[in-house]
C-alpha cells in the first residue's frame, strides 16, 4: 500500500526531530545519518537532499533549537502584568522548569559548546546566546523606563550575567546536581541587583 507523500517542510521537520534524538545520544560526529533517516522514515539520500552534510544538519538543528528556545521564553512572559523583577523571575523559572522537557536539546547545546573551535558552530552559539542576552536586556531597559529598575544597572551586563546563571544551572541539571531551592535563591540574588 502506497504511503501518502509528505510536504517537503513536514519531511524536513521529521528529519530534524530524528536528528535531535540521534545527536543527543552522544555527539554529532558519532551520530549516524542512516539511523537518522530510519527514525525519520526516509532514505539516507532524502536526508542529504535537505541537508548537504551531517554537519549542516547539526548546525541547522542547533539554530532551530535556539530559535524555539527564545520563542518559548518570549511566549512565557508575553502579556505578563507584574513588575519587571517578577517578569524576569518568571522567565527564569519557566526556563528551569522546561529543562526536563527539552533535555535532549540541552544536551546537544552542550555538545556544541565542546565544538567551539569550529567557526560555524561558534557562530551559531554566539548568535543564540546574544539573542538571549538581548531579550533580557530589553526587559531590563523597559523596567528602567517604568522607573522599576535602578537606572545605574547596566542592562547588557546584567543580561549576560543572567545568561551565565542559566548556563551554570543547566550544567548542574545535566550533571544531576540541580536543586530547585538553591537555584531559586541564586536567581533572587541576581534580581536584587535590579532594585538596589
Q: Cα–Cα–Cα angle for 18, 28, 58, nearest 5°?
A: 65
- Which set of grid coordinates corresponds to residue 136? 533580557
For 30, 87, 130, 151, the CA distances from 138, given in Å and listed in that order, are 39, 12, 12, 14
Each residue's pLDDT tens digit, 79-123: 999 999 999 999 999 999 999 999 999 999 988 988 889 999 999
- 57-75: b (≥16 Cβ within 10 Å) or e: bbbbbbeebbeebeeebee
Label residue 2 by pLDDT band (50, 70, 90). very low
Mean pLDDT confidence for 50-57: 95
Q: How far is CA 172 from CA 9, 91, 109, 150, 167, in A?
A: 36, 19, 14, 31, 9
pLDDT of residue 4: 56
CATH number of 1-52: 1.10.10.60
What pLDDT, in 10s, does the model give residues 109-167? 988 988 889 999 999 999 999 999 999 999 999 999 999 999 999 999 999 999 999 99
Phi, psi (deg, nearest 5) at residue 127? -60, -45
- Two domains, one topology: 1-52 and 58-195: no
Question: Domain extents for the chain?
Answer: 1-52, 58-195
Q: Which CATH architecture has domain 58-195?
A: Orthogonal Bundle (1.10)
Amino acid at each position: 500500500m502506497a504511503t501518502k507523500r509528505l510536504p517537503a517542510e513536514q519531511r524536513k521537520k521529521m528529519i530534524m526531530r530524528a536528528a535531535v534524538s540521534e545527536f543527543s545520544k552522544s555527539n554529532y560526529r558519532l551520530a549516524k545519518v542512516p539511523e537518522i533517516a530510519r527514525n525519520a522514515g526516509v532514505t539516507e539520500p532524502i536526508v542529504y537532499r535537505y541537508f548537504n552534510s551531517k554537519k549542516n544538519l547539526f548546525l541547522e538543528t542547533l539554530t532551530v533549537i535556539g530559535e524555539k528556545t527564545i520563542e518559548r521564553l518570549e511566549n512565557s512572559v508575553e502579556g505578563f502584568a507584574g513588575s519587571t523583577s517578577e517578569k524576569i523571575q518568571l522567565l527564569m523559572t519557566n526556563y528551569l522548569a522546561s529543562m526536563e522537557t527539552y533535555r535532549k536539546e540541552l544536551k546537544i547545546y552542550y555538545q556544541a559548546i565542546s565544538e567551539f573551535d569550529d567557526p560555524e558552530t561558534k557562530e551559531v552559539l554566539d548568535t543564540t546566546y546574544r539573542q538571549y542576552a538581548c531579550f533580557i536586556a530589553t526587559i531590563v531597559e523597559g523596567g528602567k523606563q517604568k522607573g522599576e529598575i535602578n537606572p545605574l544597572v547596566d542592562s547588557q551586563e546584567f543580561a549576560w550575567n543572567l545568561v551565565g546563571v542559566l548556563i551554570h544551572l543547566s550544567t548542574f541539571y545535566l550533571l544531576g546536581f540541580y536543586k530547585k531551592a538553591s537555584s531559586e535563591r541564586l536567581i533572587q540574588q541576581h534580581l536584587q541587583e535590579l532594585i538596589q
